[in-house]
Amino acid sequence: MEATSRYPALMACDRRRPPADRGDGGRGGDPDREDPAGGGRMSSFTEAELAYMRTGGLLARVATVGDDGMPHIAPVGMWSQNPEFDTIDVTGLGFARTKKFRDVARSGRAAIVVDDMVKLDPSEREAAGGWDSRPRGIEVRGRAEAITGPQPMIRIHPQRIVSWGIESKTERNARNIAQGPGLLRRPHEPAPRSTPTIRGLDPGRWFSPGGRPRAGMRGRVHGGAGQY
């Protein structure tokens, strides 16, 4: 499916790369840290944030805006930080039929929040006002792509990152991400794979070639209903 004026962010496959070298302006973290994929490009996320997003079993929530300006939010279980593109990739059952996918295809914008609660030791509870746990999480806002196939997904390119309870138990780490001049590949970069996959969430593991959940996965697929 080709991009249209109604759905400018809709892509038939992933032919674009992340912004060219963004430097470390506004990124935070270690400016000497290289991209995990080995391409020499620094990640927008700190090491602590990357480690947190690799924690298993975390539920996320994706926020979009409809064509009437009404905000929309939905829980998703199939998401991952993609080290090759330094993005957040989200998919699910019947994903191309969901409202969030249509919203991103039209607007090219999305946000995602991943959070949980950490149990406190009894010795820490008094300093926390008597609470037995503390919150931690990360919010990512930015440009987003609706990729149609072979496995539909939303790919969010960070432009604003806010994390809490990760770098510090009490402080937030909020910053804007400097954007490069364009989305074209740099000459030394190889062409992207024609079949995009989510690191740790290979669509072949979750879905059969016909797009139906594989046996044993049906109860573990989130965010697939059309109203979401």
> What is the total count of domains within the chain?
1
Look at residue 4 and tell me if it is in a domain. Answer: no
Please state, in angstroms and rounded to a whole number, the distance separating the CA atoms of residues 48 and 123.
24
Give the pLDDT of residue 27. 39
Look at residue 53 and tell me if it is in a domain. Answer: yes
Look at residue 2 and tell me if it is in a domain. Answer: no
Look at residue 88 and tell me if it is in a domain. Answer: yes
CB 148 within 8 A of CB 132: no
Whole-angstrom CA distances from 165 to 6, 95, 120 are: 39, 31, 12
CATH number at residue 166: 2.30.110.10
Look at residue 145 and tell me if it is in a domain. Answer: yes
Q: Which domain holds residue 113?
A: 10-180
* Tokens encoding 192: 């992207």
Look at residue 118 and tell me if it is in a domain. Answer: yes
| pLDDT digits 0-9 by tens, 78-108 | 999 999 999 999 999 999 999 999 999 999 9
Please state, in angstroms and rounded to a whole number, the distance separating the CA atoms of residues 176 and 159.
6
Q: 32-65 burial, b if ≥16 CB within 10 A, otherwise e?
A: eeebbeebebbbbbbeebbebbeeeeeebbbbbb
Close Cβ partners of 208 (under 8 Å, ≥ 6 residues apart): 214
Model pTM? 0.67
| pLDDT digits 0-9 by tens, 60-76 | 999 999 999 999 999 99
Look at residue 172 and tell me if it is in a domain. Answer: yes
